[in-house]
Structures are given as structure tokens and as C-alpha cells.
């Protein structure tokens, strides 16, 4: 199917590339169908664009928390398991939504650690889980040391 997007123009996707968020995303509850886009020429992507199929002007940059040095251990409720149709936990991926930080002291990108996306790669179903307490495991590396 052909999809018009603000960032990428007109793109062609197959039904197998559609990810459905039955409850939508926080503050975008009416936007339920998305697809992932990344630059194929760049090799293995670090981040992706989560493009809404319901609104061509709506897209989010998302990233694997491991790329930022975070890992999550999340417990899903029975209702969340039912939404995701998650039979095998290995089929779940966790992604973070990036946002632009603009305040007087910092500028750049931040990651929403309190509301990760959980996507079942088999059923192509996802949800955004709002966490009250975030206790991610941190992996710190010295990025400035020479190898």
C-alpha cells in the first residue's frame, strides 16, 4: 500500500510492515497504525522513525535503550499480555521515544524513560507502558578512551 508521509514523501509498505497500537500512544490515542522506517544504506540502524499511518504529519524517532546504555526488566499485566498477544517474551522489543530538549541549560535529544514502547515483533502489536518508578539497569562505558 502507498502511504504519504511528511518526512519521507510517498512510501510503499506491505501489510506485514504495519504495527498496531490498539490503545494508541500517550496523547495520541486516536493514532493506532504505524510503520518503522530507517535508512537501509546506513547498515544496522540505531534509531528508527515510527511513522503514523493515520496521520502523515506524525512521526516519532525511537531508539533501542541498549544503544543508550539502558536495559529494562518489565513486568506486564495479563491485560498487557493480551493486547500484545505475547506468547514468547523473546518476541518483545522495548524502544524509547526520543524528544528534543530545549531549555536554558541544555539542548539536544532526550529519551522518554518513563513510557517505553513494547512491540511484539511476531504479532506486530504494540503498547506504550507508563512506568511510575523507573529503575533501568545502567551500563556505563568510557566513550572517550582510546581503543
Mean per-residue pLDDT, 128-142:
68
The pLDDT of residue 136: 55
Cα–Cα nearest to 61, from 70, 44, 49, 53: 49
Tens digits of residue pLDDT in 13-37: 999 999 999 999 999 999 999 999 9
pTM of the predicted structure, to 2 decimals: 0.83
Cβ atoms of 125 and 85 closer than 8 Å: yes
Tens digits of residue pLDDT in 118-128: 999 999 999 99
Question: 16: number of CA atoms within 13 Å, CB side?
Answer: 1
Q: Does domain 2-138 have CATH number 2.30.290.10?
A: yes
Mean per-residue pLDDT, 66-79:
87
Cell of 25: 500512544
CA separation (Å) from 103 to 20, 112, 130? Answer: 33, 16, 24
Cα–Cα distance, 54 to 129 (Å, whole number) = 21
Amino acid at each position: 500500500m502507498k502511504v504519504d508521509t511528511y518526512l519521507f514523501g510517498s512510501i510503499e509498505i506491505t501489510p506485514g510492515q504495519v504495527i498496531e497500537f490498539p490503545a494508541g500512544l500517550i496523547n495520541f490515542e486516536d493514532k493506532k497504525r504505524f510503520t518503522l522506517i530507517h535508512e537501509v544504506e546506513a547498515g544496522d540502524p540505531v534509531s528508527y522513525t515510527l511513522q503514523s499511518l493515520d496521520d502523515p504529519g506524525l512521526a516519532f524517532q525511537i531508539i533501542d535503550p541498549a544503544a543508550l546504555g539502558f536495559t529494562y526488566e518489565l513486568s506486564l499485566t495479563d491485560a498487557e499480555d493480551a493486547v500484545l498477544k505475547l506468547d514468547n517474551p523473546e518476541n518483545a522489543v522495548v524502544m524509547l521515544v526520543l524528544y528534543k530538549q530545549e531549555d536554558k541549560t541544555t539542548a539536544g535529544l532526550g529519551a522518554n524513560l518513563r513510557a517505553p514502547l513494547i512491540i511484539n515483533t511476531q504479532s506486530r502489536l504494540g503498547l506504550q507502558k507508563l512506568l511510575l518508578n523507573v529503575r533501568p539497569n545502567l551500563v556505563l562505558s568510557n566513550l572517550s578512551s582510546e581503543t
